Structures are given as C-alpha cells and as structure tokens.
Amino acid sequence: MALDSGKLEPLRVMVVDDSAVTRGLISRWIEAEPDMMVAASLRTGRDAVNQVERADPDVVVLDIEMPELDGISALPQLLAKKRNLIVIMASTLTRRNAEISFKALSLGASDYIPKPESTREVAAADIFRHDLMQKIRHLTAKRRRPVTVASPPRDHDDSGSNASRIMNAVDSNVSERDAGGKPRRTFPHPALVQREQQPRSAQAVRAMIRPQPTLRSFSAHLPRALLIGSSTGGPQALMALVAGIGPVIDRCPVLITQHMPPTFTTILAEHLARAAGRPAHEGVDQEIVKQGHIYLAPGGRHMRVARKGADAVIVLDNGPAVNFCKPAVDPLFMSAIDVWQGGALAVILTGMGSDGMRGGTQIVAAGGSVIAQDEASSVVWGMPGAAVQAGICAAVLPLQQIAPKLVRLFAGDRL
C-alpha cells in the first residue's frame, strides 16, 4: 500500500505555567487555532521534564517563575530529552526576567515573549495572543511534518509521482550555488511535497524550486553608516555580528532596530557593548550620532536619524506601530537616506514579517546597499526573505560571513 502525503499534523504545544488562569487562557487560544493542539498543560518545570517524552510536543511555552523547578532550570533538561524542541520563554517585563530570557536564549531557547501584567486587559491580552500564535507558527515553519495516509497501489510508476521521488529527483538533478559560489542542494518546501498528487518530471520539479536571488551591485559610495534590522532570532545574531565588526564600528556609527519591548532593549544594549568591546546604548532623543558607537532603538519607540547642522542626531518617535512593530526597522532605514544618502549600508537579519524591505528599497534607490542573512542561518526567514524577493540585495550571506564582508566593504572593497 503506497503512502501519500496528506494534510499537515497539528502543532503540538505544551503549556507550562504555575498560573491556572494563564495556562487555561493560552490553552484555549491554542485549541481555537485549526493547526494547533494542546499536547499538555502543566504547572511546573518538573512536570514538563517528566512528561515531555510522553506528550511529544513540537513547542513548549515555558514560564520562567515556577515552583519546584523554574523555567531556566527546566530548559536544558527539556532540550536534553528532545533536542529539536522549540521552547518559547514567557515572562513578565521585569529586568530580572529579561536577564533570564537572554540567558535562556544562550542555553537553546528559540525565542521569548513578554507576558502582560494582567490578562484582564483586553488589548494587552489580544496583543499577547497574536504575538504568541505568530511565534509558534514561524518558529515551526521549517519543521512541519505531513501526515501520511494510506492510498491504493498505483498501476504504474512515473518519475516524481510522490514525495520520495521528488526528493530523489531534487537530490540527484538539482543544485544551486550559495552566495560564496559553492554548490548547495535545494529541497522543496513541505507544501510542495504536500501538493504533489500528479506525476511530474524532474524538469517540472526543478521549476518549482525557489530560484537563485537576483543580486545587485554594491554601491560605488564608501559606506558611512551601518544600519541593522532584526526580529525573531535577532539577539543571538546581533551578538555574533557585532563581535566581528570592530573595525567597522571604529569607522562609523552603527544603528540597530531589534523588535523588542522596553527593559529587554536596555539589557540587549549592555550585551552588545560586551560583545563588541565598544560603547552601545539605547538611543537618546537629540543625541549626536558618532563613529565608534552602537545605538539601539529603545523598546516602544521608533528610532530615526536627522541632520542637525553638521551633525546627525537621534530622533525618537512615540507614534503608531509600523509593520505591526514598535520600534520598527523601516523608519530607521528611511530616515538614514536624508543623512547619509548613498553612504547608508543596511543589513537585514533573521525575523518575522517584512519590516525593513520598504526602507531597504529606498536606501538602494538613493544609491546605498542592502545585505540580507540567508535562509539556512536565519531562525525565521521573513524579513531577509522579503528583501531578497524584492530584488534589493547586493549579497545574501550566512550569518558568519556577514561580518567579514562588512569589514571589507567599509575598508573600500566594492565586490
């Protein structure tokens, strides 16, 4: 009996929180989603560790403060029992919890989410629900597995007629080159396999593979400012990036927008300062932008730059969210054009959504350049993927290759 792919299994989510109200609320939200189910609803980290193998969750929403075994202590034990488990840390917005969330990221947590101080506030609860559902879906996008259902045997076998033959055809016949020119195997998105019901040739399979991005030439201008946008997976990526761009920071200012709430951005700036070995802090309204410094958009405020006499200054904006985010990347990118024109170089790192694409488009139109993180090294390839699909990038690179490239570009290399 042949096996064909059917619909995707619902995502199995384990909810771990010592508050019965919070557990019940999150569980109801998950059960209301057509592509999710509650694998377990538990009160302590100890319960989660004891039951993770039996419940077999794809995702764990893990509270930080719990009796018996708290979230940060349970995290490594959960990952030891299920290595590919996605763990989202949930905590209220306190400095202590923010510090613990950053530690959790270094220990293998996939992301964090701030819990509202009171779920009785409808607006705050709605935002929390929306953000949590989005994070669950985006973080599991690469790992969704199709349900296999039995079907009658076929009378004959045509090339590419099921998921196995698609993978074989791609593996043997299809390859593309990465940004460094090396051959790279490419495989169809699970949705492609799911849709494959009719026989297809290897040529048809190749046509369905995502094409190589069209890359632009780097700007002829020497870059004078580095602008970085990031979201989901961004803290880890930013830490790795700034650790390798000391010569760039010494030459010019570095301005960063990371989708992150207040308190978290304060701590992120402190971590960036240690990683870079250079001054880093949240931007302050009307402060002069200087080379040798890293400026981070504060949580809950958009950060822009403006020209003030001979200087560039930080401008903080408490206006509405942009691209559902505050701070957002586009306001920073767009404002940089008036200050540095073609000397603005933007990097778009891992993150959900498409924030940064519009601003990046304007930077390129003004004569600047955009680099995007590649899909394989991104936690979520939303923001960089949108920039790549818009055709605005001069390079699409693995995270570990971005810093060396930036050092060369700011030293005068135009290739």
Element (H, E) at 261: none
**CA dihedral sign, ordered 70, 23, 53, 375:** negative
CA distances from 401 to 162, 187, 211, 240, 404 (A): 37, 23, 21, 11, 6
Q: Fill in the amino acid letter for 136.
A: I
Q: Measure the CA–CA gap between 301 and 40, rounded to whole angstroms.
A: 37
Bridge partners, residue 111, by sequence: 88
* CA-wise closest residue to 252 among 228, 288, 224, 229: 224
Which of 300, 342, 298, 347 is closest to 319 using CA atoms? Answer: 300
Assign residue 41 a region: left if phi > 0, alpha if psi is -120 to 50, beta otherwise? beta
User: 72, 107 in Cβ contact below 8 A?
Assistant: yes
The catalytic residues are 231, 259, 355
Alpha-carbon radius of gyration of the chain: 23
